[in-house]
Amino acid sequence: MRVAIVGAGRMGSAAARRLAKLGFDLVIWNRTRERAESLAREIGVRDAGSLIEALSHSQIALAMLADDEALLSVVSSMRRMDGLILVNGSTVTPKASIAASKHLEGLGIGYVEAPIVGGPGALERGEAIILVSGRRADVAAAGEVLDALGEVFVVGWKYGLAPALKLAFNNLLLASIAGLSESLLILDAYGLDKRLFRDLLGRTVFASFSEKYLERAVEGRKPTFTSRLAGKDARYAAEALADRGYPRIVSSRVADIYDLISSLGGGEDDYVGIYNTLKRLSERVRG
Ligand SMILES: NC(=O)c1ccc[n+]([C@@H]2O[C@H](COP(=O)([O-])OP(=O)(O)OC[C@H]3O[C@@H](n4cnc5c(N)ncnc54)[C@H](OP(=O)(O)O)[C@@H]3O)[C@@H](O)[C@H]2O)c1
């Protein structure tokens, strides 16, 4: 099956590595060409100089783009291509995704919403969860690619559902990371040992959360997901609520926290490591 990878960032690269290993016929397109060239060279596939060139040889296009703006800009530069299916793995708002589906329908292009739970490592190993919604026929036609990417979790047969579920998941995850970071500040403020906290969490419902994120929050790691994109997801969760007239109490505060991190220069850092930036800020505030 011929697949165009649209966006060669962290997630697009991970998907490309996985699909290439499984024998899919790939072509890579990225807005910044050098990134596509270097990924294509690494995995031994072709890169395309233009989006249209990449799509015209493909049955499926797999988009792994930063945000709503990137998705809508890519979709609006597509031309009529009957039978092509765009699988969107990016985290976007339900509103932008529905707008993309309508535009693509007018071009004869099928559309599958497929936001991903799991980072680039999990995606490359085939261990990510792919949340899927859209028209049944398009989902069936993209089945081979979706199955190859990870565990397919069908959300429903209407546009907007999988993006909403993904934002619900990320809202919980990011609020938990923000809460963990501030809890670490409480330990600092009262001279409590972090090992004590880990021991306590290990005895509670937070055991696996602490196992996965506590050390990473304190040490800081090479980012697999940046604070900038985490802030985008929190803002999108708030927008998704506001769009349906619901209050956005937690998501908007989490978005503010990540915006603060970005304004302090930590936008490209690991989204779990915000404790260290908050710690520096609190030291500055306390003089
Ligand atoms: N990383 C994770 O752990 C993770 C997990 C689940 C979901 N996601 C979601 O997956 C998506 C990709 O994340 P990522 O971590 O791969 O991000 P990334 O490494 O920052 O890559 C972003 C990609 O989007 C492209 N892009 C940005 N603005 C664009 C525009 N206006 N037009 C065309 N292309 C544009 C970038 O192209 P350039 O190279 O030209 O900038 C790059 O290919 C995001 O929606 C993210 O929320 C990420």
pLDDT value of residue 227: 97
Name the percent of the chain lying above pLDDT 90.
Answer: 97
Asked if residue 185 and residue 234 are part of one domain, the reply reads yes
Of 157, 175, 205, which residue sits at a domain end?
Answer: 157
Average pLDDT over residues 173-188: 98
Q: Which residues line ligand 1 (CB under 6 A)?
A: 7-12, 30-32, 35, 64-67, 69-70, 73-74, 90-91, 116, 119-120, 224-225, 229, 233
Asked if residue 7 and residue 148 are part of one domain, the reply reads yes
Whole-model pTM over 0.85: yes
Q: Residue 250 sits in a domain of what CATH number?
A: 1.10.1040.10
Average pLDDT over residues 29-39: 98
User: Distance from the CA of 170 to the center of ligand 1, in angstroms?
Assistant: 16
- Cβ distance 48 to 74 under 8 Å? no
- Write the pLDDT tens digit of every residue in 133-163: 999 999 999 999 999 999 999 999 999 999 9
Ligand 1 atom with minimal separation from the 91 CA: 45
pLDDT tier for residue 68 given thresholds of 50, 70 and 90: very high
Asked if residue 184 and residue 71 are part of one domain, the reply reads no
From atom 5 of ligand 1, which residue's Cα is the shortest distance away? 119
Number of separate domains in the chain? 2
Asked if residue 118 and residue 63 are part of one domain, the reply reads yes
Average pLDDT over residues 276-282: 91
- Write the pLDDT tens digit of every residue in 235-252: 999 999 999 999 999 999
User: Distance from the CA of 143 to the center of ligand 1, in angstroms?
Assistant: 23
Of 95, 123, 157, which residue sits at a domain end?
Answer: 157
pLDDT value of residue 220: 86
Mean pLDDT over each residue of the chain, to the nearest integer: 97
Ligand 1 atom with minimal separation from the 7 CA: 43
Q: Which of 6, 10, 69, 149 to mutate to test the pocket of ligand 1 (most atoms within 8 A of CB)?
A: 10
From atom 25 of ligand 1, which residue's Cα is the shortest distance away? 65
Asked if residue 119 and residue 37 are part of one domain, the reply reads yes
Asked if residue 245 and residue 137 are part of one domain, the reply reads no
Asked if residue 75 and residue 33 are part of one domain, the reply reads yes
Domain range for 173: 164-286
pLDDT value of residue 57: 85
Asked if residue 151 and residue 184 are part of one domain, the reply reads no
Average pLDDT over residues 107-121: 98
Asked if residue 22 and residue 107 are part of one domain, the reply reads yes
Burial-class residue 168 by CB neighbours within 10 Å (0-12, 13-18, 19+): middle
Asked if residue 43 and residue 147 are part of one domain, the reply reads yes
Is pLDDT at 166 greater than 90 in this prediction? yes
pLDDT tier for residue 233 given thresholds of 50, 70 and 90: very high
Q: Residue 17 sits in a domain of what CATH number?
A: 3.40.50.720
Asked if residue 215 and residue 92 are part of one domain, the reply reads no
> What kind and span of H or E run contains 87?
strand 85-88
pLDDT value of residue 287: 80
Asked if residue 129 and residue 11 are part of one domain, the reply reads yes
